[in-house]
Structure 1
């Protein structure tokens, strides 16, 4: 884990960018945080299915933090260029290496184990740092914004 306390209220995004959102959460705030993330991500330029997918991925991460990561966590959302990032940290006991290395879809009859898999599937990139003092997951979603397509000539 980094030297920055992931639950420190003054923490900024890892690249020093001022966050669009920096919030602590617990079980009572999951729904509120999800709605706030939706509004911030939409204002940052994410829309349609990409917005829905990114918010669902974040919801899975904050739910995991509450259920498995000590009951509370810290979320930071920021934009760098044409990418939207979300960092979710908790103070739980960490995630085992075997679980982190698992890339297969969970069996449909299994009630748990879907959170990390879904977050990985619904975001462009997912990085996880985990140890006995907690877990931090960073996901990203591209906003597009490339050059305008050239209209066909003719």
Structure 2
């Protein structure tokens, strides 16, 4: 079937990277640089990078140890997907959870991501999980009015 001439092309990928526990730091730094060049800065950049790091760490610890990260900009939003081929997430992790006890050793990764990003989505099943993170970029400055 021919391509739909009215369909727009998907946004270009800023980063696509395989990772495991040994490569989380390098991928996190790559995400940070590309997110900054895409227009994310200051605390919003720090928040997004922390959320990405938490999701990658969850993959390394709980979902088979390795995954794929994809980063792209769509309109005024920076989007990231982290995909693994683990056994899927328990249903209780799919919805908002209260802050874990201060003595809990796990359970803060998705909790943090949900607070640091504008949108978090989770698709999971026995073949793996994809966590999507989205954060709005600052509005484009308007050009000065001509005099």
Q: TM-score, normalised by structure 2?
A: 0.87
What is the deviation of 1:102?
3.8
What is the deviation of 1:136?
0.1
Q: Which residue of 1 aligns with 2:84?
A: 90
Secondary structure of 1:101's counterpart equals: coil
Q: Which residue of 1 aligns with 2:24?
A: 30
Q: Which residue of 1 aligns with 2:41?
A: 47
Q: Which residue of 1 aligns with 2:6?
A: none
Q: Which residue of 1 aligns with 2:15?
A: 21
Larger Rg: 2
What is the deviation of 1:105?
1.3
Deviations 1:43-87 (A, max 9, x none): 000000000000000000001011111110000000011100000
- In structure 2, list runs of 5 or more residues that go unmatched: 1-8, 143-147
Deviations 1:88-146 (A, max 9, x none): 00011111111222421111111111111111111000000011111100011100215
Secondary structure of 1:28's counterpart equals: helix
Q: Which residue of 2 aligns with 1:8?
A: none
Q: Which residue of 2 aligns with 1:12?
A: none
- What is the RMSD of the two structures over their aligned residues, measured on CA atoms? 1.3
Mapped to 2, the partners of 1:142 and 1:29 lie a distance apart of: 26
Mapped to 2, the partners of 1:60 and 1:120 lie a distance apart of: 11
Secondary structure of 1:20's counterpart equals: strand
Q: Which residue of 1 aligns with 2:130?
A: 136
Runs of at least 4 residues of structure 1 off by over 2 A?
Answer: none
Structure 1 residue 80 corresponds to structure 2 residue 74? yes
Secondary structure of 2:105's counterpart equals: coil
What is the deviation of 1:147?
6.1
Mapped to 1, the partners of 2:129 and 2:69 lie a distance apart of: 12
